[in-house]
Amino acid sequence: MEAEIGFVLALARALHRFGTPAHRLEEALANVCASLGLEAETFTTPTAIIISFGKHHDLRTRLMRVEGGELDMGKLAQIDALGDQVIEKAITPTDARARLDAILAAPKQFGRALSTLVHGVTSAGLAVFFGGTLQDVLLAGAIGLTLGLLAQLIARSTDQTRVFELVGAAFAAFAAGVMSSWSPRISPSLVTLAALVILLPGMSLTVAMTELATRNLIAGTARLMSAVIVLLELVVGVALGERAATALVHVRTGVPLPLPEYANWIALVASSLGVAVLVQAQLRAFGWILGACVVGYVGSRYGTAWLGPQMGVLVGAFALGVLSNLYARQLHRPAQVVSVPAVLLLVPGSMGLRGMTSLLDKETLTGIETVFAMFIVATAIVAGLLIANAVFAPRRSL
């Protein structure tokens, strides 16, 4: 049983690495262990995995210190396919372990240059959604591109990676403030928010709320606090950048003038494809991801008109959840591959940043209202996804 146990441990670490929620991870490992004839109990958190093998009177327990959060949907799909082959007895655990190591060691599907470029494209697209002018869109794209380059440079050092959110937020706020002094049509707060959306922990917040809703309380609480800490780092960074810009130039606050309606659809397509590249999705999933982003966007717009700005996102989350589950049924791959990129465009991280910034500026009432609204929106997204799973289940662990 040593080969089987070794494969299960390696599989657990790999699935956790690519952001699999606790309830999905534990269910997937239970299915694999059952197919291999292993009796096992699993407990996962964002930083640790504990698995006990054997009978209750003779347990062998393994504790693994892990770090997750890497978004690579292409490798996740390959690992899921490998798990299916093990369950179907099409490959031995020993060979599967070697294949798994090869998948993890393989280079990313999209290189650094393209990943850096789509940071700018996605930021520019989100500036359109926020109602920015053409100048706002161009500046947000330029700052997003710079942040993408900065992310590639500091990824080589663990110590530098830990301060990336702080440094990136400070740079974005400073650049937006300085550029606003040259053009009255630039809204620095809008540009800063659009450029930082990729760094916001909205996805972590949504996964945390999902884990709490599925009664994985320790995992959900730990992930929720991690998201709050990242938000606070971004707020401090934005405050530093704004103060530095104000000390050097006269920062203007432009009035956003939304672009024509067709610009939103162009931005939606560009942002959807950009996010698909950022999460390293396989090319065959791009059409599904674009479709999920579109139905999520349309559903949220109609839902907002029907249920209001906070609960309306539930309709969009339900629509993209159904489409993601359809993808899982048709292609026999994880629904996460499609749902994660689409949810990234719905997550309420921007609301959290605005709320924390208001609290920092001593606008207590506004800040508390905005932060509370952020949790309501996150809960609505989770509710939409859970309802989609109940109505049209993916029939898969992941």
* Total residue count of the chain as it appears in this document: 398
- Model confidence, pTM: 0.88
Side by side, which strands form the sheet with 40-44?
A: 40-44, 48-53, 60-65
Per-domain boundaries in the chain: 2-105, 111-280, 282-398
Q: What is the torsion angle, in degrees rounded to the nearest 10, for the CA atoms of residue 378, residue 383, residue 331 and residue 15?
A: 60
Residues in the chain, pLDDT under 70 = 68-69, 155-160, 254-256, 347-362, 364, 398
Residues of the chain above pLDDT 70, percent: 93
Over residues 103-121, the pLDDT tens digits come to: 999 998 898 889 889 999 9
- Non-local CB neighbours of 179 within 8 Å, separated by 6+ positions: 139, 186, 188, 191
Q: H or E stretch including 45?
A: none
pLDDT given for residue 16 in this prediction: 92
**189-227 burial string, b = 16+ CB within 10 Å, else e?**
bbbbbbbbbbbbbbbbbbbbbbbbebebeebbebbbebb
For 101, phi then psi, to 5°, come to -60, -40
Q: Taken in order 179, 181, 187, 188, is the CA torsion positive or negative? A: positive
Closest CA to 281 of 128, 76, 102, 88: 76
- Comparing C-alpha atoms, which of 71, 28, 22 is closest to residue 47? 22
Interhelix angle 112-129/134-154, rounded to 10 degrees, is 150
- Return the pLDDT at 111: 86
Contacts of 160 (CB under 8 A, 6+ apart): 154
Backbone angles phi, psi at 42, to 5 degrees: -120, 140
Which parts of the chain are beta strand (E)?
Answer: 40-44, 48-53, 60-65
Q: pLDDT of 53-85, one tens digit each?
A: 988 777 889 999 998 667 899 999 999 999 999
Report how far residue 14's alpha carbon sits from residue 12's, in angstroms, rounded to the nearest whole number: 5
